[in-house]
Amino acid sequence: MTLRISVIGTGYLGATHAAAMAEFGFEVLGLDIDPEKIATLTAGQVPMYEPGLSELLLKHVAGHEGSTGRLRFTTSAQEAAEFGDVHFVCVNTPQRKGEFAADMSYVDAAIDSLAPHLTRPVLVVGKSTVPVGSAGRLAERLAALAPVGEGAELAWNPEFLREGFAVQDTLRPDRIVIGARGGRAEELLREVYAEPIAAGVPFLVTDYATAELVKTAANSFLATKISFINAMAEVCEAAGADVTQLSAALALDDRIGGKFLNSGLGFGGGCLPKDIRAFMARAGELGADQALTFLREVDSINMRRRSRMVELAREQCAGGFLGRRIAVLGAAFKPNSDDIRDSPALNVAAQIQLQGAQVTVYDPKAMDNARKMFPGLTYADSALEAAEGAHVVLHLTEWQEFRALDPAELGAVVAERRLLDGRNVLDADAWRAAGWTYRALGRPS
Contact residues for ligand NAD (CB under 6 A)?
A: 8-14, 31-34, 37, 90-93, 106, 109-110, 113, 128-129, 159, 161, 163, 270-271
Question: What is residue 304's three-state secondary structure?
Answer: helix
Question: For residues 110 and 232, which CB has a smaller minimum distance to ligand NAD in the complex?
Answer: 110
Question: What is residue 375's three-state secondary structure?
Answer: coil
Catalytic residue among 90, 236, 271, 317: 271
How far is 195 from 89, CA to CA, in rounded Å? Answer: 21
How far is 107 from 14, CA to CA, in rounded Å? Answer: 13
Query: How is the chain split among helix, strand and coil, in percent rounded to 5?
Result: 45, 15, 40
- In whole angstroms, how far apart are CA 37 and each of 10, 67, 158, 163, 295? 8, 20, 23, 18, 35
Question: For residues 114 and 317, which CB has a smaller minimum distance to ligand NAD in the complex?
Answer: 114
- Minimum distance of ligand NAD from residue 113's CB (angstroms): 6
Beta strands in 381-430 (DSSP E): 392-395, 418-421
CB-nearest residue to ligand NAD: 11
- Minimum distance of ligand NAD from residue 111's CB (angstroms): 8
How far is 331 from 436, CA to CA, in rounded Å? Answer: 23
**Contact between 73 and 112 (Cβ < 8 Å):** no
Question: For residues 37 and 305, which CB has a smaller minimum distance to ligand NAD in the complex?
Answer: 37
To 10 degrees, what angle do helices 293-316 and 344-354 make? 50
Concerning whether 271 is annotated as a catalytic residue, the answer is: yes
- Minimum distance of ligand NAD from residue 243's CB (angstroms): 27
- Minimum distance of ligand NAD from residue 411's CB (angstroms): 37
- Minimum distance of ligand NAD from residue 9's CB (angstroms): 3
**Contact between 338 and 366 (Cβ < 8 Å):** yes
How far is 295 from 250, CA to CA, in rounded Å? Answer: 22
- H/E stretch holding 211: helix 208-239
Question: For residues 129 and 262, which CB has a smaller minimum distance to ligand NAD in the complex?
Answer: 129
- Amino acid letter, 245: Q
Question: For residues 11 and 266, which CB has a smaller minimum distance to ligand NAD in the complex?
Answer: 11
**Contact between 390 and 349 (Cβ < 8 Å):** no
Q: What angle do CA 134, 138, 140 make, to 5 degrees?
A: 125
- Minimum distance of ligand NAD from residue 215's CB (angstroms): 7
Question: For residues 93 and 262, which CB has a smaller minimum distance to ligand NAD in the complex?
Answer: 93
- Minimum distance of ligand NAD from residue 110's CB (angstroms): 4
Q: How many CB atoms lie within 10 A of CB 73?
A: 24
How far is 281 from 101, CA to CA, in rounded Å? Answer: 5
Q: What angle do CA 362, 365, 370 make, to 5 degrees?
A: 60
Which residues are the active-site residues?
271
